[in-house]
A = this chain, B = another copy of it.
Amino acid sequence: MEGRVYLVGAGPGSPDLLTLRAVELLQQADVILYDQLVPVRLLDWANPQAERICVGDLPGKHADKAVLIHQRMVAAARQGRRVVRLKGGDPLIFGRGGEEIAALRAAGVPYEVVPGVTAALAAGAYLEIPLTHRHFASALAFVTGHEAPDKAEPPINWRALAQFPGTLAIYMGLCRLPQIVAALLEHGLSPDTPAAVISRVSWGTQRSVFARLAELDQ
């Protein structure tokens, strides 16, 4: 049997926001490599015999782990096993999915990508924030608040984002919240812009704060 890797979006965290395809693949998996931030209760859907590896438990620092994840996926698929690489949210939004695809292609391992509900969509639904609105917001941007220090292209252009004609959803921004708020205000976004900070959306431990942009870092 030919092994295969499935890069699967786990959704925002609530088990009932998995897709049917994600559940089917978890049930059939021989190996599951899951992100540290994926709630373990999602694995209740998984094949009880599947080998389960939290990628946070792999040795080495964060940057080294990516290589180990690639090696594990490739090795298991070459043994003819069905590998689910379970990633928080959607695999191709702030999830290194592009790098994992490149590694699988380079190794000649067959793979499939399964999209998932990304966190901003869950934040919209759970906190009733219309992310777009025909009369008020014709666009929506997802931005990382946590850039790769070794990124080849220039750092995020906060000036362009302050002028973005729509809703901004900033991912992984909590640690850099004061800097992000300052950059947006400095480049002209109104201090009165309605804003919210949300963590662990759809988990039992969801927290949120609504405020004016200028008050958000207080």
A-B contact pairs, 6 of them (CB 8 A): A92-B132, A96-B134, A101-B128, A141-B142, A157-B163, A160-B164
Closest Cβ–Cβ distance, residue A21 to chain B (whole Å): 4
> Would you list which residues of chain A between 100 and 131 have a CB under 8 Å from chain B?
101, 113-118, 121-122, 124-126, 128-131
When the two chains form the complex, which single residue of B96, B116, B152, B164 contacts A164, counting CB atoms closer than 8 Å?
B164
State how many residues of chain A have any CB contact under 8 Å with chain B.
65
A122's partner among B98, B115, B156, B165 (CB-CB below 8 A) is B115
Interface membership of A30, Cβ < 8 A: no
Interface segment, A11-19, A53-61, A70-78? A11-19
Return the 4 tightest CB-CB contacts between A and B, nearest first.
Answer: A98-B130, A115-B125, A113-B125, A16-B21
Q: Which residues of B contact A138 (CB under 8 A)?
A: 143-144, 147, 151, 153, 156
Question: Chain B residue with minimal CB distance to A131?
Answer: B92
Q: Which residues of B contact A163 (CB under 8 A)?
A: 157, 160, 163
Bound together, the chains give a CA A101 to CA B99 distance in angstroms of 39
A135 at the interface (CB under 8 A from B): yes
Min C-beta distance of A205 to chain B, whole Å? 18
Q: In the complex, what residues of B have CB within 8 A of residue A122's CB?
A: 115
- What distance in Å separates the Cβ of A84 from its nearest Cβ neighbour in chain B? 14
A97 interface contact, C-beta 8 A: yes
Is B114's CB under 8 angstroms from A125's CB? yes
List of B residues within 8 angstroms of A14 by Cβ: 21
State A143–B136 Cα separation when bound (angstroms).
Answer: 13
Q: Is A24 interfacial (CB 8 A cutoff)? A: yes
A23 at the interface (CB under 8 A from B): yes
A37 on the B face (CB < 8 A): no
Say yes or no: is A133 at the interface (Cβ < 8 Å to chain B): yes
Residue of B with least CB distance to A140? B142
Q: How far is the CA of A116 from the CA of B149 in the complex (A)?
A: 32
Chain A 151-169 per-residue mask, 1 if CB under 8 angstroms from chain B, else 0: 1111011001101111000
Asked if A175 lies at the interface with its beta carbon under 8 angstroms from chain B, I say: no
Interchain CB contact under 8 A, A153 and B136:
yes
A residues 163-206 touching B (CB-CB < 8 Å): 163-166
